[in-house]
Structure 1
Amino acid sequence: MRKPKIVVVGGGWGGCAAAAAAAKAGAEVTLLERTDMLLGTGLVGGIFRNNGRFTAAEEMLAMGADIFTVMDNCTTHKNVEFPGHKHASLYNVYKIEPAVRSYLTELGVKIMTNARVIDAAKEGNKIRCVVVENVGPVEGDVFVDATGTSAVPANCTKYGNGCAMCILRCHSFGPRISITTKVGVEEWVGKKSDGTVGAMSGSCKLCKDSIDPQIVKELEEKGCVVIPIPESVREEEKLLSMKACQQYALKEFIENLVLLDTGPAKLMVPFFPLERLRKIPGMEKARYEDPIAGGKGNSMRFFGFANCNTHLQAIGPVDNLFCAGEKAGAMVGHTEAIVTGTLAGHNAVRKAIGEKLLELPWELAVGDFVNYVIGEMKKEEGRQYKYTFSGSIYFERMKAKGLYTTDVQVIRERVKKAGLQSIFNTKLV
């Protein structure tokens, strides 16, 4: 049997996880990324293993998704606590991209950067190829859309505070093009309860050299610093409701500056006007690293969730397309993207060779998460919310169902009972 060709479009955490899973299943994999670096918003993120994400990560590791090991190897702080969150790990955002690139290369994934996909061509009910700008067609047997739901400057201008010059760098590398849109799959836009569209990315990066050295010293020692904001400086308007990362929409993030050490100083608000920020003791010389205009706004997200099933196969006029990351629904975070990406990449290979597609069981936290959120995405009211293992609606469900635990042995036994030990390390071809 020849190796099936799997083409993954989008090199964020979801796309990288999909590429890894497909390669480990035995496929020939090409990963297309429109910018010059992998990981997308993962280049400014850095938080994992907090709250229910610990459970999810350990379930995935037990199933063979060792991309989490790459994250662990780039971790500079473990068991960090900050408002609403326990036992977080923080990876270094400067070290993570080369590490992931090396990991994928060792798996045999062909990585093409500066490869913006602008179209897709169909034959009957199948995608035959995607078209890369200035390159041409890239053919495959099965495709994974991991293009995300942001990276369109017009959305930041229309629904946010304008382009904040973030890590997605749309003006340099071109805006995101949705493959699901190109082939006619139904898509939905995330809305808030008040009817407004989209959500703003939830954090910024500050240059450590621009912050008081004593704050930096404490930050690097502990991984987290909480600095009270004088009442005269607080800006409460909309900051809680506008965040994509709803698990951080707590009053503590309004009353305090919460800084995490992810290499730079990660500031846990969507944006903070610079003139106000510099009135806070220790922040008198503060400067934004990302987004550069972090005193004005941040990137807008949640445009274009695709209609897919619990196998993460797109529902529509083609049957050889899978979805990963936020493309599959309002699933927020690196861990969440890796979960969906791994399942999508694995099932892409199963589809290519005619095997039954894998559905993660409800008895696992990751299975309950994917299956539940996919169901919620079919409802208009369900698309008003964001879902994550680390807080808000889903974490509460996770705890209520007894799925949240930090006992690694319990988690491994759970995966063993489901018959899925090392499933993502198993060659299918």
Structure 2
Amino acid sequence: MDIIVVGGGWAGCAAAYQAAKAGAHVSLFERTDMLLGTGLAGGIFRNNGRYTAAEEMLAMGGGELFRLMDENARHRNVCFPGQMHASLYDIAKVPAAVYSLLKNAGVELHFQARIVSAILSGARILAVKTPAGQRYAADAFIDATGTAGPTVNCTKYGNGCAMCVLRCPAFGGRLSLSALAGVAEYRAHRGDSAGAFSGSCKLMKGSLSESLQKQLEQDGVALVPIPPELREDHLNQKACQQYAHAAYMENIVLLDTGHAKMMTPFFPLEKLHQIPGFAFARYEDPYAGGKGNSVRFTAMAPRDDALRVRGTENLLCAGEKAGPLVGHTEAVVTGVLAGFNAVRMCRGENLLTLPRSLATGEAITWVNQQTFRPGGADKKYTFSGSVLLEHLEQRKLISLDTDVITTRTERAGMRNIFA
């Protein structure tokens, strides 16, 4: 079984590892020189309903990446506005840990390797090509190229390229495998503009005051009030609608992920320097964080509940490509299922759809239904807040009790299914 994964973010890494674990020969193509994509600027997991999702994946035997995050957590049980019992992974250590996990599983990693075309036979992908004309064939393909950027979208729908961690000017913009296969993708909107701004920036922690640095090291979180005359209202522009609370407009909310993760999509530097503790603050990602951030959700693929891309025979999708799902946890969940189903596809077996008696299964199916209802694609869905968490809570699928989660998984017939 030869499986190709395009995109090395959390979704692509989860898909590649799961497929390799099941015995496939897996090749992962990443257009930059690093794994994890926007996960390099992230770091939050296990907050709110993401705790349930992670524990469900562990109970199903597909939780290796969550164990890895746990092993590299800088802080646990952190609370900040609207979010409870969050863990924060170290953004410097996690990429190397994921790299080792994939290499040890036998995944063939290709860096600085953009996929620019697909060779088709009807609705079936036979092979993909790089700019140099190198051809790579496989039995099944997984599109984990995400929806952030490229530069043209950030210029058209945002405030211009802010040179985020995706680094499109250096490595070339994102190209969607689904689009290369002839699939008509769809996009989200925020008002009259397409997509949504990435939800946070990173500040160099050493550029903050010593007291702020100590607070972050000790508590993992710091809230600094913003004077009313300096406030910026980005609440409706963010991809991460779980943080669309007034507290994020009234305060600078910082999280310690190695750098200081600032929970706002951008904030003018001249205003930031006027806030106590930020006189020498400097952006780490994006470098022009005082101006803007990357624009996401401009290229999602229509798919079924098993994550097969509609209109294709042997292409699956994961992460943001699978719909307006926000977050690392959401990417890992869909990545594991896509990798598992890619192997089933190669074997000629029926693809797995996670049961709706589990939070993960309900999320994948319900979000797919909601997305194609009027205005549904313009909402953002996450286990940690907004409309998805509310829906899962109404269905009583959110729990912090691992025994309850394990029992529910067993009753659903999913215990160790991914193992």
Which TM class, normalised by the smaller chain length?
Answer: over 0.9
Name the residue aligned to 2:341: 347
2:377 is the alignment partner of 1:383: yes
Q: 1:371 aligns with which of 365, 372, 375?
A: 365
Q: 1:290 aligns with which of 282, 285, 293?
A: 285
- Structure 2 matches for 1:269-418, cutoff 5 A? 269-316=264-311, 318-418=312-412
Number of residue pairs the alignment of both structures matches: 418
Is the 1:307–1:378 contact (alpha carbons within 8 Å) kept by the matching residues of 2?
no
Aligned AA (2:55): E
- Structure 2 matches for 1:223-242, cutoff 5 A? 223-236=220-233, 239-242=234-237
What is the alpha-carbon distance in structure 2 between the residues aligned to residue 171 and residue 5 of structure 1? 31
Aligned AA (1:368): E
What is the alpha-carbon distance in structure 1 between the residues aligned to residue 43 and residue 313 of structure 2? 34
Name the residue aligned to 2:157: 159
- CA deviation after TM superposition for structure 1 residue 64, in Å: 1.2
- CA deviation after TM superposition for structure 1 residue 135, in Å: 5.4
Q: Which runs of 5+ in 1 are unaligned?
A: none
Aligned AA (1:220): E
- CA deviation after TM superposition for structure 1 residue 134, in Å: 2.2
- Structure 2 matches for 1:53-68, cutoff 5 A? 53-65=50-62, 66-68=64-66
What is the alpha-carbon distance in structure 1 between the residues aligned to residue 136 and residue 367 of structure 2? 32
What is the alpha-carbon distance in structure 2 between the residues aligned to residue 144 and residue 183 of structure 1? 12
What is the alpha-carbon distance in structure 2 between the residues aligned to residue 405 and residue 301 of structure 1? 30
- CA deviation after TM superposition for structure 1 residue 182, in Å: 1.2
Aligned AA (2:318): A
Is the 1:24–1:424 contact (alpha carbons within 8 Å) kept by the matching residues of 2?
no
Name the residue aligned to 2:250: 255
Aligned AA (1:10): G
Is the 1:50–1:89 contact (alpha carbons within 8 Å) kept by the matching residues of 2?
yes
Deviation track 1:48-81 (CA, whole Å, cap 9, x = no partner) reads 0000000000000111121111111110100000
What is the alpha-carbon distance in structure 2 between the residues aligned to residue 150 and residue 125 of structure 1? 26
What is the alpha-carbon distance in structure 2 between the residues aligned to residue 151 and residue 121 of structure 1? 24
Identity of aligned residues (%): 54
Aligned AA (1:173): F
Deviation track 1:205-260 (CA, whole Å, cap 9, x = no partner) reads 01111100111101110000111111121122xx0110001101110000001000
Aligned AA (1:114): Q
- CA deviation after TM superposition for structure 1 residue 354, in Å: 0.5
Q: Which runs of 5+ in 2 are unaligned?
A: none
Q: Secondary structure at the match of 1:304?
A: coil
- CA deviation after TM superposition for structure 1 residue 395, in Å: 0.5
Aligned AA (2:107): V
- CA deviation after TM superposition for structure 1 residue 376, in Å: 1.8
Aligned AA (1:383): A
Deviates more, 1:65-74 or 1:286-295: 65-74
What is the alpha-carbon distance in structure 2 between the residues aligned to residue 330 and residue 96 of structure 1? 25
- CA deviation after TM superposition for structure 1 residue 24, in Å: 1.3
- CA deviation after TM superposition for structure 1 residue 380, in Å: 4.0
Name segments (4+ residues, structure 1) moved above 6 Å: none
Deviation track 1:258-315 (CA, whole Å, cap 9, x = no partner) reads 0000000000000010000000001001000110000000000001111110000011
Aligned AA (1:99): A
Deviation track 1:311-338 (CA, whole Å, cap 9, x = no partner) reads 000111x210001101010000000000
Name the residue aligned to 2:86: 88
What is the alpha-carbon distance in structure 1 between the residues aligned to residue 252 and residue 108 of structure 2? 41
Q: How big is the alpha-carbon RMSD for the aligned residues of Structure 1 and Structure 2?
A: 0.9
Deviation track 1:327-370 (CA, whole Å, cap 9, x = no partner) reads 01000000000011111111011011011110000000000000
Deviates more, 1:163-172 or 1:194-203: 194-203
- Structure 2 matches for 1:18-167, cutoff 5 A? 18-65=15-62, 66-134=64-132, 136-167=134-165
Aligned AA (2:70): D
